[in-house]
Structure formats: structure tokens, C-alpha cells
Amino acid sequence: MGKHAAAHVHPTTAIRLALEAGVDCLEHCTWLWPGGLDIDEPLMEEIVKRGTYISLGLPSTWYRVPLGDIQDIMDKRGREALLGPRYESIRRMFESGARVLSSSDAGSTAPRIDELGLLLEFLANQLEVPAHAVITSATILGAEAIGLGGEKESLEAGKKADFILVDGDPTTDITALQRVDTAMKDGVAVAGGGNVFL
């Protein structure tokens, strides 16, 4: 119908139905089935082939609380049945070549707007997703997924100059993304040196 559509899908059955219905973006994409959590490989291949976006929708507790602490408070069964396989499935979704988006689960665990850097740090340092893939998932792919491809997804002549300058090289130290020096919007500095210019 020409409309951009996203579907909130945890079970594998829901992922399959959403894909068959032709949605553009799968929210969470948790791969739950009655026996646990695991990727359905043929379905994953279909997601890659179609170029369907996967928006992770991670709870803020994942990146706010140290991993060891989360594992301590979950019982062994929950840890083994859910958390480990979910981490592994996220790594594999990135590796598969799917268009994975780094997103928080706004509305469930009250993520703050300034916490995206923590989420990206979690993916790169805890789940060992390559930094380049993590940065792409939060910039180029994010812009494309919400219909801003061709306008804001990369720094090129003719596109809108919305970008940040950070202290450090995020491809070798992802935490550099949390040290924003200057923010540019439409080519004009809107924040810098700790000040907001509005």
C-alpha cells in the first residue's frame, strides 16, 4: 500500500507473519519459540534477502547496569535460557548482513535520549559487534529506515549536514561517542564546548 510499516515481534511465528505481510521493520526480532530462543536460519536469510530492517529495541537496563550484576540477579535458568541466547542472536543478526538498527526500547524501561552512546558501547564492548557495524546501525541505517535516506544518512555534498564531532576515534574506542564536542544541524553549530546555541 506504499506505507512504511513496522511490527513488534518477539516470537519467531510473529517474525514469519510480519515478513509475509511485507513489513519494512521488525521491532525486537527476538526469535522466541516454545523451547527457548534461537534464530530460524531460512527466515533470517529471507530477512537479509528482502533488506528488512531489524530494530533491536534494547531495554535500558542492559546498558545501564553492568552485565555481571544483571547475570547475578537473574536466576540460572533465566540466564541460560534467555540472556545468553539473546546476546548470541544479536551478534549473529549483525554478522548475517541484515540491516540491524541500534535502538532502545522507549516506553518500557524509560531510556533517556542522551543514552544512545551507552547502548552503542554495550553492543561493541559487551557483545563484541564490530565498531564500524555499530556506528552504521545508529547512523546510515537508522536514517534509511525512517525514510531519510538520500538526505541525512551520510556526509556528502547535497545532503543535510547533521553530524557530531567527538573527542577520539569511535572505530577504535566506541566510548568516544559519549564525548560530544560539537553538534551540527543543517551545517550550523547548535552545541559546542558545553554550550547550546539556541
In the complex, the residues that contact Zn ion under the rule CB under 5 A are: 57, 105
Q: Which CB, 27 or 162, lies closer to Zn ion?
A: 27
Q: Which CB, 57 or 170, lies closer to Zn ion?
A: 57
Spatial separation of the C-alpha atoms in residues 126 and 51, rounded to whole Å: 26
Paired residues of 8 in beta bridges: 27
Q: How far is the CB of 106 from Zn ion (least distance, A)?
A: 8
Count of beta carbons in the 10 Å neighbourhood of residue 58:
20
Residue 139 CB contacts under 8 Å (≥ 6 apart), including other chains = 153, 154
Q: Which three cell numbers stand for residue 151?
A: 538526505
Q: How far is the CB of 116 from Zn ion (least distance, A)?
A: 17
Spatial separation of the C-alpha atoms in residues 160 and 128, rounded to whole Å: 31
Count of beta carbons in the 10 Å neighbourhood of residue 95:
12
Q: How far is the CB of 124 from Zn ion (least distance, A)?
A: 22
Q: Which CB, 7 or 138, lies closer to Zn ion?
A: 7
Q: Which CB, 24 or 105, lies closer to Zn ion?
A: 105
Count of beta carbons in the 10 Å neighbourhood of residue 164:
14
Q: How far is the CB of 28 from Zn ion (least distance, A)?
A: 6
Exposed/middle/buried for residue 81 (C-beta within 10 Å: 0-12, 13-18, 19+): middle
Q: How far is the CB of 59 from Zn ion (least distance, A)?
A: 9
* Cell 536514517, residue located: 143
Q: Which CB, 105 or 162, lies closer to Zn ion?
A: 105
